[in-house]
Chain A
Amino acid sequence: MGKVLELDRVYKAYKFGFIPKKKQVLKGISFYVNEGEIFGYLGPNGAGKTTTIKSILNLIFPDAGRITIFGEDSLKPRAREKVGFLPENPYFYDYLTGREFLAFYADLLGIHGQQKEEKIKYFLNLVGMEKAADLQLRKYSRGMLQRVGLAQALLNDPALVILDEPMGGLDPIGRKEFRDIIVNLKKEGKTVFLSSHILQDIEMICDRVAIILAGEIVNQGYLGDLISEKVLYTEVIVAGLPASEFSHLGESVSTSGNRVLLKVYEEEHIDRIIRLVQEKNGKIISLIPRTETLEDIFVDLVKNQ
C-alpha cells in the first residue's frame, strides 16, 4: 500500500496587523495517508486543519517542511492533477447555474464534448442535484452548495479526494448520503482525506485518524488501535426506586420521573444492583456497557492541553 499523501515537518506562521505579529499555526506537522483509506483529520476549531489543507493544495506556502502528493512535490500543479477538493463553506461564482458551474470546472480540467455532458449528468445525479441544476447558485442553500461542491471535486475522477468539513451544512439525511458517497469512493479505490470536528462522522467511516491540537499532531493511527475495547463503565437505568438506594453502588447522574440513571464503574456492583432492584420490586429499564469512544480520547487530549 503506497503513500498517497505525505507531510514532513510542515511549519507555517501567519503575520497579522500593521506591525506584523507572528502566529505559529502549524508546528511541525507530519503524517501520511495510505492509498485506498479514509483518513480522518480531527481537531477543534482553529487547530490548523484548514491551514494544513491549504498547504497541501498550494493555496498557502509552508515556511518549512515538505509535502508530497503521489510522490510529486505539492508545489507543482501537476501534483494536483489527481486531486479533488471541497472547501469548508464552499464559495462559488453565484451567477452560474449548477450545470454551468460544473461545465466551467470541466473545461478547466480539459473534459470536453460528449464526455463532459455525461459527467455533469452523472455527478448531478450522484449528489442529488439534478432538479436544481438550472438554478443559479445564489439561490442555493448551504447544503445544496455543499452538494454541487462535492460534484465539482469529483469531476476529474480524482485518486485523492480532500474534503474540508464536508458535512457542515447538511441535514441528517444529507449527512447520511454524504457518508455513503464517501464510503463508495473508498470502494472505488479512491483515497479520502476528511477533515472534521464532528467525531461521529469520523468514527463511523474512517480507517485511520490524526488528531491536531494547536498546530501539533498529538495522536495518530488506526481507529481500532486508538480506541480500546475495554468497558469504561455501565449505564444502568432503574425505575421505581429512589437514587439514594444506590449511592454506595454507583454514581447517580440524573433522575426523571421515577427513573434513575446510574453510572457504575465496578462490575460486581452491577449484580448487586440487579439483586437490590428485584428485592425491592423495582424495575431495570436498561443496562448499557460504555466502551471508549473517539470523543473520550479527544476530550482527554483537549483537556490535557
Chain B
Amino acid sequence: MKISTIASNTFKEAKRDRVLYLLLFFAILCFLLSRFLGLLTVGDRVKIIKDVGLASISLFGMLMAILMGTGLVYKEIDKKTIFTLLAKPIHRWEFLLGKYLGLVLTIFIMTVLMSVIFLVVLFLHTFTIEWSLLLAILYIFFELCLMTAVALVFSTFTTPILASLYSLAFYLIGHLSWSLELFIKKVKSGGGRAILKVLYIILPDLENFNFKTEVVHQLPIPTKLLAVSFAYGLVYTAFLLLLAILIFRRRDFI
C-alpha cells in the first residue's frame, strides 16, 4: 500500500517533467523521418521504417529512463522532501521500490504511446498492422526496466549528471559486451581466458533483449531464447534493486 502510494506520486511528478515530452517529440520525429529515409533506400523500404522505428523507441526510451531515473532519489534528498517522508513509519526499501515502480509505470505508458504512433506511421505505409513488432517492443521495455534500475542505483549515491554518465556507460558496455564472447573464443585457454569469462559474466549483456533484427526480417526466434532473456532481465533487475536498497539502507540524510 505504501509502495503504491509512493509509486503513484512518483508517476504524478514524472509526468510533469518536460524532458519526457521533448524525448517523445523527437521519437515521433524519427518515426516520420524514417519514411523519407525509406525513399532514399535501395531495396525494402518498409524494413528501414521498422528498423529506425524500433531503434528510436529503444533509444528515446533509454534516455527517458536515464534522465528521469538518475534524478529520482537525488531530487528527494536535494529538495529535502525525503525528511518528512522517511520520518513516517515506512521502510527505506519501500520508498525505493515505490520510486522505481512509479518510474517504470511512466516508462511503460511512454513506450505504449511511442509504439502506437510507430504502428500508425507504419500502417499508413503498408496498410497492415504488424503485431509481431510488439514482441521486439516488449523486450525493449524489459531492457528499459533494467536501465531504470541502473539509474536508480546511481541515483542513490551521486548527482544526476554523474549518474547519467555512469548509466550511459553501463548502456554502452551492455550493448558491446557480446563482442567479449567472440573474443573469448579466440583466446587460448588459461588465466587470460578465465578473467575474460568472469568479466563477461559480471558485465551486463543488453543485446539479450535485442530481437529487432529477427522481428524485422521475420526470422524464427526460439522460445527458449525468449525465456532465457526474460529470466536474465528479471534477475539482473532484482540484483540492481537489491544493490540500490543496500546502498540506501545506511545512508545519512544531512
Contacts and interface: CB of A to CB of B under 8 A. Distances in A.
A57 B86 contact: yes
Contacts of B79: 91
Interface string B229-254: 00000000000000000000010111
Interface stretch (B5-13, B57-65, B204-212): B5-13
A153 B88 CA distance: 9
Given A59-B83, A110-B1, A93 B9 contact: yes
Interface in B171-226: none
B90 interface: yes
B87 A60 contact: no
A122 interface: no
B5 A59 contact: no
Interface in A74-104: 77-81, 83, 85-87, 89-93, 95-96, 104
A92 B84 contact: yes
A31 interface: no
Interface residues of B, number: 25
Contacts of A105: 84, 88
A60 B252 contact: yes
B43 interface: no
B90 A87 contact: no
A83 B83 contact: no
Interface string B84-96: 1111111100000
A61 B252 contact: yes
Nearest to A25: B254
A89 B83 CA distance: 11
B89 A78 contact: yes
Contacts of B18: none
B247 to A, nearest CB: 14
A245 interface: no
Contacts of A90: 84
A108 B91 CA distance: 11
A89 to B, nearest CB: 8
30 contacts: A14-B252, A14-B254, A54-B253, A59-B252, A59-B253, A77-B91, A78-B89, A80-B88, A80-B89, A81-B89, A83-B87, A85-B83, A87-B80, A87-B87, A89-B80, A90-B84, A91-B81, A91-B83, A95-B12, A96-B12, A107-B5, A108-B2, A108-B6, A108-B85, A108-B88, A108-B90, A109-B88, A110-B1, A153-B84, A156-B88
What are the 3 A-B residue pairs with the smallest beta carbon separation, nearest first?
A60-B252, A91-B80, A85-B87
